[in-house]
Structure 1
Amino acid sequence: MYAVFKRELFSLLNSLMAYITIGIFLLVSGLLLWFFPDTSVLEYGYAELTGFFSLAPFLFMFLIPAVTMRSFAEERREGTYVLLATRPVTDWQIVLAKYFACLILLLFALIPTLIYYFTVSQLALPKGNIDAGAVIGSYIGLLLLGAAFTGIGIFASSITKNQVIAFAVAAFLCFIAYIGFDALSQLFSLSYFENVFQSLSVNEHYQSISRGVLDTRDLVYFISFILVFLGAARLVIGGRKW
């Protein structure tokens, strides 16, 4: 499994698309956080990163599908997946190796954003007057959200040979998971289904963790969410092997 993981990670790091995608993510998040009046921290006047953590999930809907779209789609299009499938590794090991490689790249994209925390803490009056617990909780929530979206991206890449289709399917599923269930809960407000759809919403659990409180239910939800999509990807590639 480690060999497949290393191969996939080096392949991502040698891909120009990965650097372009991460660069666009950092550029857009920086512009939204510091320059655009409606979302700027300087205009808001409070030493907090709420704006960044509210906007980042929508950027993830495009960043993560762009990173994961080539995982299986390119292997199948070029015919190299046949060679990978003949190696002494299980389907689960292949899926997990590709998943963790994409997750490491996502972590590389998030690390530079820590400068936002340092900058805002220096701008605060007095210096360092920022809710560190809420920021840490928000980063944990953002990482879990990214892990969930990565699972969706791996699944979308496993069902097609076309990277563009994999990107579109992943972006659509991420949007539905983040926004769709919230919309359905509002549609069925004041009924039993409102709580059901809210409990299924990724946004609901992300906001819960972003408050700085790690609830076991939220962790179980994200882990289950990830396993469902990785399990679906494993079934797809396993079925194709047969």
Structure 2
Amino acid sequence: MYPVFKRELFSYLNSLMAYITIGVFLLACTLLLWFFPDTSILDYGYAEMNSFFSLVPFLFIFLIPALTMRSFAEERKEGTYVLLATRPISDWQIIVAKYLAAVILLLFALLPTLVYYYSIYQLGLPKGNIDTGAVIGSYLGLYLLGSAFTAIGIFASSLTKNQVIAFAISVFLCFFTFSGFESLSKLFELDKIGAILLILGISEHYQSMSRGVLDTRDLVYFLTFIALFLGLTKYMIGGRRW
């Protein structure tokens, strides 16, 4: 599995598309967090990163599909997946290797944003007047959210040979799982169905972790969500082996 993981990771690191996508993501975060008046921390006047953690999930909806759309689609289009599938390695190992490479790249994209925390820490009155515990919980929730979106992106890439179609499917699924269940729950607000739909959506669990509450139910939810979409990927990939 390690050779596949290494190949995937270096493929990302050698891809201009990955650098452009991450660069656009960081630029958008910087503009929204420091320059645009409606979302600027400087205009808000409080030493906290709530606006950042509220905006990034919607950026992830486009960033992560752009990074993962080539995972299986490109290999199937160029025929290199046939060579990979004939090696003494299982479908699960291939899927997990590609998934781990993508989530490590996601970590590389998030690490530069720690500069925002340091800046707010220094700007606070008094200095250091920021809830560090809540920030740590929010970053953990954000990374788990990105990992869940990555599993969706890997699954979408296994459905087609066309990267653009894989991107579109992934964006739709990411948006629906994040906002769709919450919107549907409002239609059944006075019914038990509404509560169930709210629990099924990612947004409820992400917001819980963003408040600095580390609940094992949220961790179990994200891990189950990731396992579900990786399992669906295994089903799609395994069904094509003949």
**TMscore range, shorter length:** over 0.9
Residue 92 (structure 2) pairs with residue 92 (structure 1): yes
Residue matched to 1:53: 53
Alignment-derived partner of residue 34 in structure 1: 34
- State the SS of the aligned residue for 2:37: coil
Alpha-carbon distance in 2 for matches of 1:208, 1:3: 37
- Alignment root-mean-square deviation, CA: 0.4
Is residue 2:123 matched to residue 1:141?
no
Aligned match of 1:17: 17
Q: What residue in structure 2 maps to residue 195 of structure 1? A: 195
Equivalent-residue separation in structure 2 for 1:211 and 1:42 (angstroms): 21
Distance 1:129 1:222 in 2: 31
Q: CA deviation at 1:161?
A: 0.1
Instruction: Measure, in 2, the Cα distance between the counterparts of 1:58 and 1:15.
Output: 24
TM-superposed deviation, 1:222: 0.3
| Distance in structure 2 (CA, Å) of the matches to 1:180 and 1:210 | 19
CA distance in 2, matches of 1:201, 1:168: 20
Aligned twin of 1:102: 102
The whole-number CA distance in structure 2 between the counterparts of 1:22 and 1:44 is 26
Alignment-derived partner of residue 119 in structure 1: 119
1:157 is the counterpart of 2:157: yes
Write the distance in 2 (CA, Å) between the matches of 1:59 and 1:209: 18
Tell me what 1:208 maps to: 208
TM-score (norm 2): 0.99
- Following the alignment from structure 2 to structure 1, what is the Cα–Cα distance between the partners of residues 52 and 216? 25
AA matched with 2:122: Q
Give CA-to-partner distance per residue, 1:103-158, whole Å, 9 cap, x none.
Answer: 00000000000000000011100111100000000000000000000000000000
**SS of the residue 2:240 aligns to:** helix
SS at match of 1:53: helix
**SS of residue in 1 equivalent to 2:46:** coil
Q: Tell me by how many angstroms 1:241 deviates.
A: 0.6
Q: Distance in 2 between matches of 1:214 and 1:124?
A: 25
Q: CA deviation at 1:182?
A: 0.2
2:168 alignment partner in structure 1 = 168
Q: Percent identity?
A: 71
Aligned to 1:241, the other structure's residue is in SS state coil
Pairwise CA distance, 1:6? 0.2
Runs of 4+ aligned residues of structure 1 deviating over 4 Å after TM superposition are none
CA drift at 1:93? 0.3
Match status 1:3 vs 2:3: yes
Q: Are 1:217 and 2:225 matched, yes or no?
A: no
TM-score, normalization by structure 1: 0.99
Deviation at residue 213 of structure 1 after TM alignment = 1.2
Distance 2:81 2:201 in 1: 34
What letter corresponds to residue 4 of structure 1 in structure 2? V
Q: Which amino acid aligns with 1:105?
A: L
After superposition, give the CA deviation of every residue in 1:46-75 in whole Å (9 maximum; x if it has no partner).
000000000000000000000000000000
Paired residues in the alignment total 242
